[in-house]
Amino acid sequence: MLRLVAKRLLGTASRDIPSRPLQILPRLYHENVIDHYNNPRNVGSFDKNDPNVGTGLVGAPACGDVMKLQIKIDEESGKIVDACFKTFGCGSAIASSSVATEWVKGKSMDEVLTIKNTEIAKHLSLPPVKLHCSMLAEDAIKAAVKDAEAKRAKMNATLKGADVKSG
Amino acid sequence: MASQFIRQTLTKTKPSTIVRRFSTAAAVASPTGYEEPTGVTMKGVKISGRPLYLDMQATTPVDPRVLDSMLPFYLSRYGNPHSRTHLYGWESETAVETARAQVAALIGASPKEIVFTSGATESNNISVKGVMHFYKEKKRHVITTQTEHKCVLDSCRHLQQEGFEVTYLPVGSDGLIDLDRLRKEIRPDTGLVSIMAVNNEIGVVQPLEEIGKICKEFNVPFHTDAAQALGKIKVDVEKWNVSLMSLSGHKIYGPKGVGALYMRRRPRIRVEPQMNGGGQERGIRSGTVPTPLVVGMGAACELAMKEMEYDEKRIKGLQERLLNGIREKIDGVVVNGSMDRRYVGNLNLSFAYVEGESLLMGLKEVAVSSGSACTSASLEPSYVLRALGVDEDMAHTSIRFGIGRFTTEEEIDKAVELTVKQVEKLREMSPLYEMVKEGIDIKQIQWAQH
């Protein structure tokens, strides 16, 4: 009883409602995912026919996920200067592709091929059932880079041909 | 002196640091620290107040009048209705019998034909498994539909594992079964036809009178899951010729944890009990009948009988307001299921080129449900929508709005506003919408699967 009195006097006795418990409630969506959903970065489109733009379109409506990732390459340095995306999919898919566009900016095409889906998943704390969204984002990056390189190769080929012709 | 001081200190209560807001649920045991003065935070989402409730097919709030009728049976008249020796038991039993009569009156049956259970799931289990086990010598075949509730489908699957045969009737794109197909599927050893009255996902009302006639013709017992139909459409066991009917309490503004099973007496249908015990409820369902819950269900049924017509008119107006409000602002909105043969309080919409889970994430201020894949654990869209033959990409985009007795016009307007805003935002982000705008036919594209 004296202990209780002492606690009261010192003001450390428990109040009606205990303070916030240490255990964190399990969350369905990480804050990052919700942030990317509410404030998506880099939503938009570049001109598909621009030779400096690589477009990656992956997924299928039947699976419930379609991602379109576009990258704009700087001609001389070969680096990615801008990126944008459009996604048909759940919140995690939108967040994964949004993160992908943020991470590819300013990197070279070889560097972005090393971005792994596990990194995206860790950044967004994706639960196991949503891991395929990050895989799709990685595929989208690869597809966009492949498309950009193919366009570059074609452009170089035509230039070479023109050079040879002009002699 | 010291003891006085000690007593004073001990009995002094400090004011609570967290303000408890009035909530409509009685005696909420709120988890600590989730309701703050500036809003509600749960599962990482912060919203400014409690969401608008538009999910009446999942459950309904308890009508305050129903709660009033239940409380005395928790606090003062708490006897066990099966106690035969004292007043507490007698008054409990009287209350249970009154409730039984109220439920029976709503469906056009006699009170002797009503058995109280723990819910429509239990009633469905007793109907499907109980009937087939009872008649297992002669009858080995069950007919049901592809759009039934999970408890019926799971019971049928259990029967299949035991060696019975089950036919799952397909439905048309409007959600209705083909009566000729049903007629053809009935065999001499068909023991039960189980078809739900109102579908919980799409709200479609099956042609029960015609099905009842067919079953009468072939003398096959007809079971219907009327959990979503009770108190919403006119239910008449004689007109429909049902032998068994499952009813649920918490879909008609009654308490959760109670339901009923209607079992016809003429001609009598027999079942094997799934709950063995002291022989309560005429041996069909042993166990103490939960007086307060049963009284609540009875009161809910009586209210439903009085207010069904008024509710239906009002809810129809709200449904039109919702649908027209959305259709005015955006195109590409499809209603899943037949528009004429439908319960007015259920509106299941698909928004083309927008994915269901992302739409739900943005509609955090409206409590609705979706039939999309991401919301279930697997990547499959809802089986009901697939049975309707909805295209895979449209099945991913459906949202179910449930309107009820307590929904107001302001809630509908706000829901329209939020839905339109979210759909427009997501369409901006959608590559499919962009392709359609450019004139590309999406169905022709070869998608790269991963």
- And the tokens for A84? 């944008």
Q: Choosing from A93, A99, A126, A133, which is the catalytic residue?
A: A133
Q: Give contacts of B18 with chain A, Cβ < 8 Å.
A: 17
Scanning every residue of chain A, which has its alpha carbon at the shortest distance from the alpha carbon of B378? A129
Per residue in B19-60, pLDDT (tens digit) is: 555 545 444 444 544 566 677 777 667 778 889 999 999 999
Spatial strand order in the sheet of B333-335? B333-335, B346-351, B398-402, B369-370
User: Which active-site residues of B does the annotation give?
Assistant: 374
Nearest to A94 among B372, B379, B429 (CB): B429
Q: What is the radius of gyration, based on Cα positions, of chain B?
A: 25
- Per-residue pLDDT, A7: 59
Are the C-beta atoms of A117 and A138 separated by less than 8 Å? yes
A24 DSSP 8-state letter? P
Q: Give contacts of A58 with chain B, Cβ < 8 Å.
A: 448, 450
Nearest to A90 among B374, B434, B450 (CB): B374
Amino acid at B283: G
pLDDT over 70 percentage in chain B: 87
Between B197 and A79, the higher pLDDT residue = B197
Cα dihedral B421/B422/B425/B429 (nearest 10):
-160
- Per-residue pLDDT, A115: 85
Selected residue of B19, B40, B41, B357 to mutate for chain A interface (largest A Cβ count, 10 A): B357
Q: Give contacts of A15 with chain B, Cβ < 8 Å.
A: 14, 16-17
Per residue in B84-136, pLDDT (tens digit) is: 999 999 999 999 999 999 999 999 999 999 999 999 999 999 999 999 999 99
Selected residue of A19, A90, A141 to mutate for chain B interface (largest B Cβ count, 10 A): A90
Q: What is the radius of gyration, based on Cα positions, of chain A?
A: 25
Query: In which element (H, E) is residue B326 found?
Result: helix B291-329
Between B439 and B302, the higher pLDDT residue = B302
Cα dihedral B102/B108/B111/B114 (nearest 10):
-100
- Per-residue pLDDT, B374: 53
- Per-residue pLDDT, B450: 43
Whole-angstrom distance, CA of residue A141 vs CA of residue B106:
61
ipTM of the complex: 0.72
Q: State whether A88 and B355 contact (CB < 8 Å).
A: yes
* Residue A163 CA neighbour count, 13 Å, CB half: 6
The Cα of A96 is separated from the nearest Cα of chain B by a number of Å equal to 13
Interface of B with A (CB under 8 A): 6, 9-10, 12-14, 16-18, 31-33, 42-45, 353-355, 357-358, 361-362, 372-374, 377, 379, 381, 392-393, 396, 428-432, 434, 442, 447-450
- Per-residue pLDDT, B113: 96
Q: Is B280 exposed, middle or buried (0-12, 13-18, 19+ CB in 10 A)?
A: middle
The Cα of B208 is separated from the nearest Cα of chain A by a number of Å equal to 34
The Cα of A103 is separated from the nearest Cα of chain B by a number of Å equal to 19
Q: Output the pTM of the full model.
A: 0.81
Q: Give contacts of A60 with chain B, Cβ < 8 Å.
A: 447-449
Whole-angstrom distance, CA of residue B436 vs CA of residue B430:
10
Does the structure show a pLDDT above 50 at B69?
Answer: yes
Does the structure show a pLDDT above 80 at B164?
Answer: yes
* Structure-token match 């949202």, residue found: B399
Mean pLDDT, chain B, as a whole number?
A: 88
Active site residue A133: yes
Handedness of CA A116, A118, A119, A120 (dihedral sign): positive
- Per-residue pLDDT, B294: 97
Confidence band, pLDDT 50/70/90 cuts, at residue A21: very low
The Cα of A59 is separated from the nearest Cα of chain B by a number of Å equal to 5
Mean pLDDT, rounded, for A28-39: 79
Are the C-beta atoms of B255 and B68 separated by less than 8 Å? no
Q: Which range, of B11-15, B148-152, B394-398, averages the lowest pLDDT?
A: B11-15
Scanning every residue of chain A, which has its alpha carbon at the shortest distance from the alpha carbon of B390? A62
* Structure-token match 């409820």, residue found: B281
Q: State whether A31 and B44 contact (CB < 8 Å).
A: yes
Q: State whether A61 and B379 contact (CB < 8 Å).
A: no
Does the structure show a pLDDT above 90 at B262?
Answer: yes
Mean pLDDT, chain A, as a whole number?
A: 78
Amino acid at B128: V
Scanning every residue of chain A, which has its alpha carbon at the shortest distance from the alpha carbon of B9? A5
Nearest to A139 among B362, B372, B450 (CB): B450
Q: Choosing from A6, A13, A43, A63, which is the catalytic residue?
A: A63
Does the structure show a pLDDT above 60 at A23?
Answer: no
Amino acid at A23: Q
Q: How far is CA B446 from CA A58, B355, B362, B415, in A?
A: 10, 20, 30, 37
Are the C-beta atoms of A134 and A120 separated by less than 8 Å? yes
CA neighbor of B371 nearest in space, from B391, B357, B354, B352: B357
User: Helical H runs in chain A?
Assistant: 2-10, 31-38, 91-104, 109-112, 117-124, 131-166
Confidence band, pLDDT 50/70/90 cuts, at residue A27: very low
